[in-house]
Structure 1
Amino acid sequence: MALTRCISRPSDAWSCNVTDVSAFDDLYGLQIIEHSPDRMRGQLAVSDKVKQPYGLLHGGVLASIGETLASVGTAIAVMDDGNIAVGMSNHTQFLRPITEGTVHAEARPVHRGRSTWVWDVQLSNDSGALCAIGRVTIAVRPGPHPGMSPTQG
Structure 2
Amino acid sequence: MNLTQEEILEQCAQMCKNTLMETLEISFCEVGKDYLIAKMPVNPRVHQPDGVLHGGAMVALAESVGSAASYMFLNSKDLFIRGIEISANHVKSVREGYVYARAEVVHPGRTTQLWDIKIRDEEQNLVSVVKLTTIALPKN
Report the TM-score range of the alignment, normalised by the length of the smaller protein: 0.7 to 0.9
Deviation at 1:89, TM superposition (A): 0.9
The one-letter code matched in structure 1 to 2:12 is T
Q: Is the 8 A contact 1:19 1:35 kept in 2?
A: no
TM-score (norm 2): 0.84
What is the distance in 2 between the residues matched to 1:45 and 1:59?
14
CA distance in 2 between counterparts of 1:73 and 1:96 reads 25
Q: Whole-Å Cα distance in 2 between the matches of residues 81 and 67 of structure 1?
A: 19
> Structure 2 vs 1, CA of residues 86 and 18 (structure 1 numbering), >3 Å: closer, same or farther?
farther
1:103 aligns with 2:99: yes
CA distance in 2, matches of 1:81, 1:61: 27
Q: Which residue of 1 aligns with 2:12?
A: 19
Question: Greater strand share, 1 or 2?
Answer: 2
Q: What is the identity, as a one-letter code, of the residue corresponding to 1:133?
A: V
Instruction: List 4+ stretches of structure 1 deviating above 4 A.
Output: none
Q: Which amino acid aligns with 2:29?
A: I
Partner of 1:91 in structure 2?
A: 87
* Aligned equivalents of 1:71, 1:28: Cα separation in 2: 16
Q: Encode CA deviations 1:54-80: one digit per residue, 9 max, x unaligned.
A: 111000111011101111111112342
Give the corresponding residue for 1:73: 69
Q: TM-score, normalised by structure 1?
A: 0.77
Structure 1 stretches lacking a partner, 5+ long:
1-16, 145-153
How many residues get paired? 128
Q: Sequence identity, in percent? A: 23
C-alpha offsets along residues 7-61 of structure 1, whole Å, 9 cap, x if unaligned?
xxxxxxxxxx751225211111111112456111011111111100011100011
Q: Which has the larger radius of gyration?
A: 1
